[in-house]
């Protein structure tokens, strides 16, 4: 079979980071190829290189076995490569036909007018050929998200795309629409089109793709055939298994329950259930880890706990009080520190300097000024202390946050939150995008806090991180805790299995009925190892 | 480098311009606008007929309008001719300061809302409501106190009433935005119409001065108006009012930069997600900002009644809309609002001088004014656009994982690194 797209040794560097590191990728014509990886693994960057949005630092792009150099998406489109972004680029008040033909409208009267009839005909012909069900005269704002996505696909096809790149195509779709999309992909490949789709959901990759390439930390860590691999293998590839560091973790001296989450149900922004009936306690002096592949409800769970999202059901207790209805500010004041996963959206105000950012979350605290005033000199001293203690570079409290590298931004946030003197630290991917040295430093500080009797909730998709730091480990899959395990007594293979949604109880149910009887979370911890 | 890249580059450079650079850019823009305006005046002067001795001659060609005279009148005339020796505090300079005072309050009103990320087009309506409320309340108060005591009591009382009613009127779109997700641009525009309509109804009915043919309230007694200090009273300007204006500038600056509330407002304005993370109650901040913004608009109305008109009359001039321009010109910075309001005040007052001193049609003077504002505002406008583009550039590409993602090591200029770059 012919190779439709071949990326040969693509490296893409940004100031301070390598987004893609010598990535090879070969996509066969007429297949669906999934590009699988965690957030930040370099998937979108790689596809933006293919689509001409980025110029690779080194490496070659081959389309139809011919070396190409794309300066812009237009060049890519001319070479038959189309990309459908996650956020659709459609003009809402215009019709489906107008959107599809926009910029390439059939002309009449010597090019002076748009030939609407011909445009409509072309769209109808195209959607018939691929079995798409779209109304060419409907306004885009009136059709569903799934239909809008099909319009985007038609737009690419109309421009002569042979290779379609879909960036997280399922992120905005309902489960039914996802099924429809997969049907569309089948139809497209049946007619010789080539599909590359970016996803971080391994279930989808298994379901829809012929081949799967896994990216991690900007590197291709494996290309496999979908029918020759297992979900566990993929999960392991995605999160990695190399032990980065050997954390010296003294035994936990746990105290009282600091935070308690009971039967919490949380919906995501689309109103789809993201967390379904999750319960756990975090005690003083312990690290409770939550492991799982990204997008299985961790974000929503953490937001519900920290007060950024209201749970649909359930109860959240903090230091013995019911805080379910408390505002975010109340929870901060009660001693909840939170390292958010999206540091540039939430964790820092990008236009503020570090002094101003040191105040974020403490602006109403007495420590930085009485009676609603702000004591800037005190804030500045605080910022300088964080910069000094957490080795933030450049060591300049006047530096605008945006000018710092991601790792240094993260160190500053970690410092600010740890210095809050908290009772509970919620750390969401605290080391994402941070260099190895800083990772170790952050880990040490986390364990120090734990020694001081602070309760820590650690969410991470890095297996070695949650396993190495946690005293107890909850594995989340599709919004539910599959199991709560002792990380020291569980192998990576078992964790990979759990993260892929394979419930140990179910396996046991086949083998022995005894285990199912005592199949509670605790019992499962001890009872399921071979 | 393609044209698109170059444009991006320029925008990025503008977005990162320092304060000094921005002042330099603004000054250059002002000079350039005068130059372009002068050419326009010359061209218009060629296309009009006039007698040879009325014409001026440049480069051996006769023109009916003299651009030097026009700009001389526009600027120096507005300042009351400080160079000619005949300067009087009660002259045109008073008019300039009078306009400046009103524009300071209108500009601050818009600027505060802008800083909170809210586009308050309703300053005009808030001003109208505040004006009528002030007139009615002060008329009532004037029956209780009089004389010097009357001035000392009634002027602050009038300002307070204007602020309260303007604030309440600003709170309406605030609540609608915070709790009903209603776009403030739409609601404030509509509330402008409602304010005009309702005040017209009231002032042509219950509050109408029976002695007057116009739709206006009974005139305020002299002691219930702003006292004239240093400057004569002929041009309806009071230094006291300007002093209040400067106080408001300093106060708003302090509020935004040195208080927790100001921090909440600024954070909400530039990064709502971060504000939420830091514990800011977003709906409450929206309501508070719009209330305060409305209060500043209401004070402008109170000033208009107690300093300029001495009564409330329908057809309040559009200071509220000028406030939008002033605020944008000032980059929504309270200190900048002072300077922008002065420039705008000069232009407004200078326009009348030009009309008296030359044959240049008022429309052309309007064009010159527009040119100056356009030129001075454009760099600032493009700066804001540049900020937005370089910002969203980084976010648009960072689509991985269904949520915007941190991009590492990306400054504004290289902001399109995308979210994937950080591991």
Q: Residues A124-137: pLDDT tens digits? A: 998 888 888 888 89
Q: Which residues of A touch B271 (CB under 8 A)?
A: 345, 349-351
Cα→Cα distances B362→A116, B259, B345, B383, Å: 47, 45, 17, 32
Contact B411 A407 (CB under 8 A): no
Buried b (16+ CB within 10 A) or exposed e, A245-272: eebebeebebeeebbbbeebbbbbeeee
Helix A231-239 vs helix A492-499: crossing angle, to nearest 10:
110
Q: Name chain A contacts of B15, Cβ cutoff 8 Å.
A: none
Q: What is the mean pLDDT of residues A167-176?
A: 76
Q: Do B274 and A48 touch (CB under 8 A)?
A: no
Q: How far apart are CA B55 and CA B110, in angstroms?
A: 44
- The residues of chain B scoring below 50 in pLDDT are 392-423
Please tell me the distance from the alpha carbon of residue A372 to that of residue A354, in angstroms, as a whole number. Answer: 20
Write out residues 110-169 of A within 8 Å (CB-CB) of B: 167-168
Q: Do B418 and A45 touch (CB under 8 A)?
A: yes
Residue numbers in B near A369 (CB within 8 A): 260
Token pair, residue B38, equals 């002068």
Select from A335, A350, A187 the least CA-distant residue to B275: A350
Size of interface A-B (CB pairs under 8 A): 191
User: Min CA distance, A333 vs chain B (Å)?
Assistant: 9
Q: Above 50 in pLDDT, residue A362?
A: yes
* Residue B323, min C-alpha distance to chain A (Å): 25
pLDDT at residue B9 in the model: 76
Of the candidates A74, A45, A72, the residue with the CA atom closest to the CA atom of residue A167: A45
Distance CA(A282)–CA(A261), nearest Å, equals 9
CA of B1, closest CA in chain A: separation in Å? 10
Q: Best residue in B406, B410, B417 to probe A by mutation, most A CBs within 10 Å?
A: B406
Kindly report, residue by residue over A415-424, the tens digit of the pLDDT. Answer: 999 998 899 9
B281–A359 C-beta distance less than 8 A? no
Chain B residue with CA closest to A377: the answer is B258
Query: In the predicted model, what is the mean pLDDT of residues A439-462?
Result: 88
Q: Is the dihedral of CA A362, A364, A368, A373 positive or negative?
A: positive
Please tell me the least confidently modeled range out of A198-212, A503-517, B341-355: A503-517
What pLDDT score was predicted for residue A241?
A: 53
Per-residue model confidence as pLDDT tens digits over A47-73: 989 998 888 889 999 988 888 888 888
d(CA A238, CA A41): 9
C-alpha separations of B153 from A96, A525, B84, B219, B225 in Å: 66, 78, 40, 18, 11
In angstroms, rounded to a whole number, what is the distance separating the alpha carbons of residues A157 and B232? 75
Instruction: In whole angstroms, give the CA distance from residue A324 to residue B93.
Output: 61
State the first-to-last Cα distance of chain B, in angstroms, to the nearest integer.
29
Of A167, A328, A403, the CB nearest to B276: A328
Please indicate whether residue B207 or residue A393 has the higher confidence score (pLDDT): B207
Strand spans (E) along A319-432:
321-322, 336-339, 424-428
Q: At residue A407, does pLDDT exceed 80?
A: no
The residue of chain A with its CA nearest to that of B405 is A342
What structural domains does chain A harbor?
Answer: 3-229 (3.40.50.300), 242-335+424-530 (3.40.50.300), 343-421 (no CATH)
A168–B419: do the CB atoms touch at under 8 Å? Answer: no
Q: Is the pLDDT of residue A452 over 70?
A: yes
| Percent of chain A with pLDDT strictly greater than 70 | 90
What is the pairing mode between strands A257-267 and A313-318? Answer: antiparallel
Strand A480-485 with B56-58, pairing: unpaired
**Is the separation of the CB atoms in A352 and A401 below 8 Å?**
yes
Q: Cβ of B277 and A340 within 8 Å?
A: yes
Please name the residues in contact with A286: beta carbons below 8 A apart, sequence gap of 6 or more: A252, A254, A450, A455, A456, A471, A472
- Chain A CB contacts of B423 below 8 Å: 17, 40-42, 217-218, 432-433
Predicted local confidence at residue B267, as pLDDT: 95
Burial per residue of B306-338, b for 16 or more beta-carbon CB atoms within 10 angstroms, e otherwise: bbbbbbbbbebeebbebbbbbbbbbbbbbebbb
Top mean pLDDT of A247-261, A377-391, B406-420 is at A377-391
- The pLDDT, as a whole number, for residue A230 is 83
Higher pLDDT, A433 or B10: B10
Domain with CATH 1.10.3470 in chain B: 92-357
Residue A510 has what pLDDT? 42
Cis check for the bond before A394: say yes or no (omega within 30 of 0): yes
Mean residue pLDDT of chain A comes to 84
A351–B423 C-beta distance less than 8 A: no
| Domain B92-357 is found in CATH 1.10.3470 | yes
If you search the block for the tokens 């605790």, which residue do you land on? A522
Q: Which residue of B has its CA nearest to A362?
A: B278
Instruction: Mark yes or no for CB contact B409/A15 under 8 Å.
Output: yes
Q: Which pLDDT score, from 0 to 100, does residue A246 have? A: 57
Using pLDDT thresholds of 50, 70 and 90, give the confidence band for residue A262. very high
The pair phi, psi for residue B216, each rounded to 5°, is -150, 165
Query: Residue B104 has what pLDDT?
Result: 97
Q: What is the mean pLDDT of residues A487-504?
A: 79
What's the pLDDT at B36?
Answer: 94
Greater confidence (A236 vs A336) lies with A336
- B410 to A14: CB separation less than 8 angstroms, yes or no: yes
Beta strands in A78-230 (DSSP E): 81-84, 107-108, 113-114, 163-167, 194-199, 211-216, 219-225
Q: In angstroms, what separates the C-alpha of B23 from chain A's closest C-alpha?
A: 20
User: In the predicted model, is pLDDT for residue A311 greater than 50?
Assistant: yes
CA distance A436 to chain B (A): 11
Tokens of A84: 């459908």
The predicted pLDDT at position A344 comes to 84
Which two three-digit tokens encode residue A527?
Answer: 């009872």
Q: Is the pLDDT of residue A108 over 90?
A: no
Provide the Cα torsion A132, A159, A187, A130; round to 10°. Answer: 40
Chain B residues with at least one Cβ partner in A under 8 Å: 2, 258-264, 267, 270-271, 273-274, 276-281, 391, 396-412, 414, 417-423
Q: Does A57 touch chain B (CB under 8 A)?
A: no
Indicate left, alpha or beta for A448 from its phi (over 0: left) and psi (-120 to 50: alpha).
alpha
**Residue closest to A417 by CA, chosen among A283, A306, A290, A323:** A306
Segments of A115-193 assigned E as strands = 163-167
**What value does the mean pLDDT take over residues A111-129?**
87
Structure-token pair, residue B411: 């400054």
Any CB–CB contact under 8 A between A171 and chain B? yes
Taking residues A465-483, report their average pLDDT: 89
- 410-429 in chain A: CB under 8 A from chain B: 410
């Amino acid at each position: 079979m012919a190779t439709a797209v071949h990326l040969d040794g693509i490296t893409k560097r940004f100031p301070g980071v390598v987004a893609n590191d010598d990535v090879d990728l070969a996509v066969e014509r007429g297949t669906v190829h999934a590009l699988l990886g965690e957030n930040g693994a370099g998937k979108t960057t790689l596809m933006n290189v293919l689509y001409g949005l980025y110029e690779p630092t080194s490496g070659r792009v081959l389309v139809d076995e011919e070396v190409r150099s794309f300066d812009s998406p237009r060049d890519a489109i001319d070479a038959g490569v189309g990309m459908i972004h996650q956020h659709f680029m459609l003009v809402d008040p215009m019709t489906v036909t107008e959107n599809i033909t926009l910029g390439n409208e059939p002309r009449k009267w010597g090019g002076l007018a748009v030939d609407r009839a011909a445009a409509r005909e072309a769209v109808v012909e195209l959607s018939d050929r691929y079995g798409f069900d779209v109304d060419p005269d409907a306004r885009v704002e009136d059709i569903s998200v799934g239909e809008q996505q099909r319009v985007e696909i038609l737009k690419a096809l109309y421009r002569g795309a042979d290779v379609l790149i879909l960036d997280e195509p399922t992120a905005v779709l309902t489960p039914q629409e996802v099924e429809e999309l997969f049907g569309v992909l089948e139809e497209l490949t049946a007619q010789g089109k080539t599909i590359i789709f970016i996803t971080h959901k391994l279930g989808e990759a298994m379901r829809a793709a012929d081949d799967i390439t896994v990216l991690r930390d900007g590197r291709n860590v494996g290309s496999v055939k979908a029918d020759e691999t297992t979900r566990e293998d993929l999960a392991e590839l995605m999160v990695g298994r190399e032990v980065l560091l050997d954390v010296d973790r003294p035994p936990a001296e746990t105290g009282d329950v600091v935070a308690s989450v009971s039967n919490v149900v949380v919906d995501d922004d689309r109103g789809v259930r993201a967390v379904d009936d999750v319960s756990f306690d975090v005690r003083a002096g312990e690290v409770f880890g939550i492991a799982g592949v990204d997008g299985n409800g961790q974000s929503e769970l953490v937001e519900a706990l920290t007060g950024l999202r209201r749970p649909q059901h359930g109860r959240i207790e903090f230091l013995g009080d019911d805080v379910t209805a408390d505002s975010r500010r109340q929870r901060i004041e009660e001693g909840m520190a939170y390292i958010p996963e999206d540091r540039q959206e939430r964790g820092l105000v990008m236009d503020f300097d570090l002094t101003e950012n040191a105040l974020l979350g403490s602006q109403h605290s007495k420590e930085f000024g009485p009676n609603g005033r702000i004591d800037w000199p005190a804030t500045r001293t605080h910022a300088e202390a964080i910069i000094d203690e957490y080795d933030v570079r450049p060591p300049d409290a006047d530096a605008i946050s945006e000018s710092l590298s991601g790792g240094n931004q993260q160190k500053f946030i970690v410092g600010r939150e740890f210095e809050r003197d908290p009772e509970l630290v919620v750390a969401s991917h605290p080391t994402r995008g941070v260099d190895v040295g800083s990772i170790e430093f952050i880990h040490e500080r986390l364990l120090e806090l734990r020694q001081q009797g602070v309760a820590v909730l650690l969410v991470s998709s890095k297996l070695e991180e949650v396993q190495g730091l946690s005293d107890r480990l909850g594995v989340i899959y599709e919004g539910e805790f599959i199991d709560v395990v002792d990380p020291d007594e569980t192998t990576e293979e078992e964790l990979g299995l759990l993260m892929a949604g394979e419930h140990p109880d179910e396996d046991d149910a086949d083998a022995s009925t005894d285990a199912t009887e005592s199949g509670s979370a605790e019992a499962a911890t001890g009872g399921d190892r071979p | 480098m393609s044209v698109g890249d170059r444009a991006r580059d320029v925008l990025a450079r503008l977005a990162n311009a320092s304060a000094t650079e921005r002042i330099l850019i603004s000054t250059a823009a002002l000079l350039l606008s005068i130059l372009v305006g002068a050419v326009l005046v010359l061209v218009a002067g060629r296309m009009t007929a006039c007698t040879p001795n009325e014409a001026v001659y440049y480069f051996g060609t006769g023109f009916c309008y003299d651009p030097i005279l026009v700009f001389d009148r526009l600027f120096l005339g507005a300042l009351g001719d400080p160079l000619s020796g005949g300067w009087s505090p009660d002259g045109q300079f008073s008019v300039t300061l009078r306009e400046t005072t009103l524009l300071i309050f209108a500009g601050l009103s818009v600027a505060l809302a802008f800083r909170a990320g809210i586009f308050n087009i309703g300053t005009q309506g808030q001003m109208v409501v505040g004006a009528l409320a002030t007139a009615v309340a002060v008329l009532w108060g004037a029956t209780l106190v009089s004389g010097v005591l009357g001035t000392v009591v009634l002027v602050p009382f009038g300002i307070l009433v204007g602020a309260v009613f303007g604030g309440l009127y600003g709170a309406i779109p605030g609540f609608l935005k915070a709790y009903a997700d209603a776009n403030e641009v739409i609601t404030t525009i509509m509330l402008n119409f409602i304010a005009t309509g309702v005040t017209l109804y009231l002032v042509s009915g219950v509050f109408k001065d029976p002695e007057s043919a116009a739709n206006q309230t009974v005139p305020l007694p002299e002691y219930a108006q702003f006292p004239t200090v240093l400057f004569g009273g002929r041009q309806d300007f009071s230094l006291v009012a300007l002093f209040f204006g400067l106080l408001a500038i300093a106060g708003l600056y302090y509020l935004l930069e040195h208080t927790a509330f100001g921090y909440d407002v600024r954070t909400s304005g530039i990064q709502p997600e971060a504000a939420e993370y830091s514990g800011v109650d977003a709906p409450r901040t929206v309501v508070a900002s719009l209330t305060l913004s409305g209060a500043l608009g209401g004070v402008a109305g109170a000033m208009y009644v107690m300093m300029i008109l001495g009564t409330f009359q329908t057809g309040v001039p559009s200071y509220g809309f000028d406030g939008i321009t002033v605020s944008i010109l000032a980059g929504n910075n309270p200190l900048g609002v002072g300077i922008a309001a002065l420039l705008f005040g000069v232009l407004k007052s200078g326009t009348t001088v030009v009309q008296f001193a030359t044959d240049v049609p008022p429309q052309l003077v309007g064009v010159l004014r527009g040119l100056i504002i356009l030129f001075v505002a454009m760099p600032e406008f493009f700066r804001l656009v540049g900020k937005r583009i370089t910002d969203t550039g980084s976010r648009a590409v960072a689509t991985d994982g269904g949520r915007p993602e941190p991009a590492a090591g990306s400054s504004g200029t290289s902001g399109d690194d995308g979210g994937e770059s950080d591991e």
